[in-house]
Amino acid sequence: MTNSKVVNQNNTQEGKDRKVLLRVDNLVKYFPIKAGVFKRTVAWVKAVDAVSFDVYEGETVGLVGESGCGKTTVGMTLLRLYEPTSGRIIVNGEDTTHYFLSARRAKNYVRDTYVKRFQKSDFKPQDDLDKKYYDIFKNSGENGLLEHMVGDLEKKRLQFRRNIQIVFQDPYSSLDPRMRVKNILAEGPLAHKIIKKPQSIETVGKALEEVGIHSGHMYRFPHEFSGGQRQRVGIARALLMNPKLIIADEAVAALDVSIRSQVINLMMDLQKEHNLTYLFISHDLSLIKYISSRVVVMYLGKLVETAPKEELFEAPLHPYTKSLMSAIPVPNPEFKKQRIILQGDVPSPVNPPSGCPFHPRCPVAQPICSKEVPELKEVKSDHTVACHFPGSL
C-alpha cells in the first residue's frame, strides 16, 4: 500500500505530527450500464478507478480535473451518497467503508477485509490501521473486532455525517425551495439532537451572521436570496454540524465573478476559525492554486498527479497537468506562457483507452504508453505521478 509509506515519510520529514483526517485507499466506483431484453449489465462506467490520496487535518486539498474525470463521483462516494464499488475510506483512523451497509453486509466486509487476513499465520500489519485492528483481534477475537467495527452502526453513521459535510455547486438547487432558511439550517442539528427546537433560532441566527447574512433573514425562502447569499447559506448548513472535513464540490463555479472571491475568502476565514479541513473539488486550476495546500489531479477516473501546491505549479510532471495549466486563460496580456493545445476530446469512461488513459491526447506519448498502465510513483518527496515519462513535456 503506497499510501502508508507517504504518510510515514511526512511525519518524519516535516518533524511534526500531521494527522491524517481522511485516507482514500484504492477507491473504485463503477456505474453499471444496463441494456438488452432483461436489462442486464453489459458494461461499466469506470467513473473512479483506484484513486488513493490522504487529507491531513487543517489543510485544503484541491481535487482538479475536467468534466467526466470522476472528481464529483469521488466526493459523492466519500460522503456515501454513492456506495463505493471497492476500496476503503478511512476517517480519523477508523475504517468507515462499511458504515452505510446493512449490518449483515457490514460484517461480511469486516471479515473479508480484515479477519481473513489476520487469521493467516504469516500475517504482518502493513500500516497503523492494520496494527490497531490486529491488536483488537488478538485481544478479543473476531467477535471483538466485529463489535468494534460494526457495533452501534447507527451511532457511527450519525458521527460520520457530523464529521464530513458538503457544499454543493448549484446554489439554486441545493436549498429546498419550499423551506424557510431557518428550517433548512436547523434540519441537520435537530436530526442529530445537537440542539433542541427552542434553541434553533439562536443557533441558526449565529450561523447566519457568521457567514455574513443578517440573522433577521432566517425566515426568508431561498429564492429571496442572490446566488452568493445562497451559497453562504449552504456553507452555514454544513458548518452547523461542526464538521471536521468539508467537501466543496465546485462551490463557487456557478457564481458571478465578482461574488466568487467573497465566498472564497469567507471559506478561508472559516477554515482558520474552526480548524476545518477542505477537500476542494474544482475544474479551475487558478482557484485550486489560490486555495489549496496540496493538489490532486484526476483524468478519466484515474489519479494522474499529486503534489504540494508550490511544487505542482512550479514543476508539473505529468503532461496532462502541464497542458491543463497552459490552457487556463490568464488575465494578463503580457504574460507569456507555453501553449500546449491538446488534440481531441476526453474519451468515454465506458471504454477508456488501453494503457495510460491520457496517451491518445498526450504530446509526448511513446509506444509503451498505449500498452502499460503507468503506476503511481513517488518521484520526489510527497510528489507522486502516474506517467511513464514524467517531466518529459
Partner 1 sequence: MEKNPLLSVRNLRTYFYTEDGVVKAVDGVDFDVYEGETLGIVGESGSGKSVTSLAILRLLDPKGKIEEGSEIIFNGKNLLTLTEDEMRRIRGNDIAMIFQEPMVALNPVFTIGDQIMEAILLHQDVDKKKAREMAIDMLRKVGIPEPEKRIDEYPHELSGGMRQRAMIAMALSCRPKLLIADEPTTALDVTIQAQILELMKELQREYGMAIILITHDVGVIAENADRVVVMYGGKVMETSDVRTTFKTPKHPYTWGLLNSIPRLDIEQERLYSIPGMVPDPLHFPVGCRFSNRCEFGEEKCSVEMPPLVEVESAHMVRCFFYHKVEQAQKLSKAGEGA
Partner 2 sequence: MTTFIIRRLLLLPLIVLGVSLIIFSLFQILGPDKLLAAYVNPNVFDKLSSEELEVLKEKYGLTKPFAERYGIWLWNALKGDLGWSQVGKDAVLKSILSRFPYTLELALYALIPVVGVGIWLGVAAAVHRDKFLDQFIRIFAIVGWSFPDFVFGLLILMVFYSVLGWFPPGTLSQWAEEIVKSESFHKITHLVSIDALLNGRLDVFWDALRHIIGPVITLSFLWWAYLLRITRSSMLEVLSKEYVRTARAKGVSEHDVIHKHAQRNAMIPVVTVAGNMVIGLLSGTVIIEVIFNRTGIGRLAADAAVQLDYATVLGTTLFYSIVLVLGNLIIDILYAVFDPRVRLG
Partner 3 sequence: MSKERKMNTELRRTMRKIFRNPSAVLGFALLIFFVIVAIFAPLIAEPINPMMLDDNGNPMKLDDPYVMPIITWSSTPVPPSADHPFGMIQGRDIFYGVVWGTRTAFFIGLTVTIISTLFGILIGSISGYYGGWIDEVLMRITDVFMSIPFLLAAMVLTTILGNGIDKVMIAMTVFGWMGAARLIRANILQVKEEQYILASKALGVKDYFIIMRHVLPNTIFPVLIQASMRMGSLVITAAGLSFLGLGAPLGYADWGSMLNFTRNWILGASGSTFSYWYAVFYPGMAMVLFVLAWNLVGDALRDVFDPRLK
The site for partner 3 (CB under 8 A) is made up of 76, 79, 81, 157-158, 160-162, 164-166, 168-170, 173-179, 184, 187-188, 191-192, 216, 219-220, 224, 234, 237, 241
Cell 504469516 identifies what position? 122
Residue 179 or 379: which CB sits closer to partner 3?
Answer: 179
Residue 43 found at the interface with partner 2 (CB under 8 A): no
Alpha-carbon span 167 to 174, nearest angstrom: 8
The nearest distance, CB 65 to partner 1, in angstroms, is 9
Which residue type is seen at 216?
A: G
3-state SS assignment for residue 120: coil
- In angstroms, the Cα distances linking 89 to 84, 97, 158, 332 are 9, 5, 16, 42
Residues 296-355 that bind partner 1 (CB under 8 A): 313, 323-335, 339, 341-343, 345-346
81 binds partner 2 (CB under 8 A): no
Instruction: Name which position in 251, 264, 296, 304 contacts partner 1 (CB under 8 A).
Output: 264
Maximal CA-CA distance, the chain: 68
Sign of CA dihedral 122, 128, 132, 135: positive
Q: Does 169 bind partner 1 (CB under 8 A)?
A: no
Interface residue with partner 2 among 15, 37, 338, 344 (CB under 8 A) is 37
What 3-state class would DSSP assign to 126?
A: coil
The CA-CA-CA angle for residues 203, 254, 46, to 5°, reads: 100
Candidate list 15, 36, 177, 367; residue touching partner 2; CB under 8 A: 36
User: Mask 75-104, x = binds partner 1 (CB under 8 A)?
Assistant: ------------------------------
Cell of 250: 465546485
- d(CA 245, CA 278) in angstroms, rounded, equals 6
Q: Please, which residue, 31 or 290, has the CB nearer to partner 2?
A: 31
Sites for partner 1 among residues 175-204 (CB under 8 A): none
All three cell numbers of 77 = 462516494
Q: Would you count residue 284 as binding partner 1 (CB under 8 A)?
A: yes
Could you give the CA distance from residue 60 to residue 233 in angstroms, rounded to a whole number? 21
Q: How far apart are CA 117 and CA 112, in angstroms?
A: 8
Q: Minimal distance in Å, beta carbon 346 to partner 1?
A: 7
Question: In whole angstroms, how close is the CB of 263 to partner 1 at the nearest point?
Answer: 9
Q: Which does 257 bind (CB under 5 to 8 A by kind): partner 1, partner 2, partner 3, none?
A: partner 1
Q: Which of 180, 274, 289, 377 binds partner 1 (CB under 8 A)?
A: 289
Strand partners, 306: 296, 384
Q: Choose which of 12, 258, 272, 338 interacts with partner 1 (CB under 8 A).
A: 258
Count of residues that interact with partner 2, criterion CB under 8 A:
4
Q: Taking CB within 5 to 8 Å according to partner kind, which of partner 2, partner 3, partner 1, none is near residue 330?
A: partner 1
Name residue 384's beta-bridge partners.
306, 378
Q: In what order do the strands lie in the sheet with 20-35?
A: 40-56, 20-35, 86-91, 94-95
**Nearest Cα residue to 303 out of 74, 55, 58:** 74
Binding residues for partner 1, rule: CB under 8 A, are 66-67, 226, 228-229, 256-262, 264-265, 268, 283-287, 289-291, 313, 323-335, 339, 341-343, 345-346
Binding residues for partner 2, rule: CB under 8 A, are 35-37, 39
